[in-house]
Amino acid sequence: MELIKEIKKAEAQAQEIIEQARIKATEQAEKGRENRRQALAQAEQHRKKAIEAAITQAQVKGRAEVDGLKTQAEKQRQELHNKTGSKMTAMAAKVMDYLRG
């Protein structure tokens, strides 16, 4: 009889140990899932920040390039105007002389 009580007591203890182990395993699994969620959220934030930084940098470079091209175009236009300005006056004079006869 005493042996049966000991066996039942040992079975109850074993069942309690198993249940505690199951609870710990569940808690650890949940902690692992939460850590992965946090890591994913942090990675997403880093990705968004990197994208925003790249966009800002591209905008700055784009504006600088546009300004440079505008300056270059204005310079070329001015040079062309300077080159042709004196020729235009001379050509207009020749045309007028031709028309006059």
The reported pLDDT for the residue numbered 88 is: 81
State the Cα–Cα distance between residues 101 and 98, nearest whole angstrom. Answer: 5
The reported pLDDT for the residue numbered 93 is: 84
Q: Per-domain residue ranges for the chain?
A: 1-74
Token reading at 50: 């990197």
- Write out the E strands in the chain: none
- Per residue in 7-53, pLDDT tens? 888 999 999 999 999 999 999 999 999 999 999 999 999 999 999 99
Residue 100 has pLDDT above 90, yes or no: no
Considering only residues 3 and 40, tell me which one the structure prediction assigns the higher pLDDT. Answer: 40
What's the whole-number mean pLDDT along residues 74-84? 90
Residue 101 has pLDDT above 80, yes or no: no
